[in-house]
Structure 1
């Protein structure tokens, strides 16, 4: 029992979390100011349709708790979205200024028009500027829960935690998670090689695998087995992480 408790405490020390309640207005402002990176290269781009975005906005208006946004802290103190890019993008698409850095980052020129709302039916067909000023302020002040993982956390534990979080409808691949955690020159080198025309001419991938990290993982596998095949035991994921 003592050993189990000691092991649990040791794992806790390797993970450093912070939790915040931030308003919608603060989140949009942080994206505008490049404090939050909403679309790191390992993330999928904004994909929710108007109906799903509208359902989230309705929940926020009604005060229904929505899942926390999960961020990773970089060395310079900025945050990257690990889990929640669709939710944060939906909030920006609804409430951010028509011309703003935040809106440019989600690549949506036309703001969200609410649709298919079940509870707030009178809001259907409206955009944020169409709402009374009091409702605009109410929405901007709504709190959203944020959990951040410090850059001081052990990298192997970070990978495991991100993999556990990765249960949503838009699932990240192992390589996309690696691109978040194991940042640096070698990761940039792999990314550059994945764009090499000669390399791309000899691989055959499905459309869905072209932008999910599959190309980068193939290159990583090459270097991993070339330089460290004697260290391989049984876990390909762990071997590539190392």
Structure 2
């Protein structure tokens, strides 16, 4: 039934999702030109609210749980597992108070309405995986922006999506660089569960009626710990959360 209803409702979801991306592209441009960063960020937040609503067109049941009371005015490094492209919009919307900037592959900065514009102008680190020097330079720029603005970073250390929900080993490089340059940043694991099921049949049809959860886990204070220890602790916490 998930697949059958997916054939019916996937076109509606993609139509709504695409329309929001197209509509908000000029809105982002105008917001940035007329109101600067604050107005642009507000437009991106609202865009992602609407993108999240399109998940309901697929009968998705979603829950974003954040019960830990994250501090305001402090940079945070959000570390999450990665199951599908649908992981991102709920994080942008629900964590919007903390200004999360994603570490993304540079290919996404080209040709995608709204998404590419935001990645270019919203403060993200857009890395070329084939060019380690460029990748490090981008992450260093992000760290500088975090220090100057109390922004946060969001990173998927697996490096690629897990198509079956099973976590891949974390690659520590990007997180280590951020921790070294923003040593007072709080590290917050985020466990994502079930979003891979939405795309388990591929991009079409999407799977109808899936249950998805985002859970903000207990923060990790990096003081007195090596970056490797912090990453390992975050990885263990996420593994335990998605295994429940």
Q: TM-score, normalised on structure 2?
A: 0.23
Q: TM-score, normalised on structure 1?
A: 0.23
Structure 1 or 2: larger strand share?
2
Larger Rg: 1
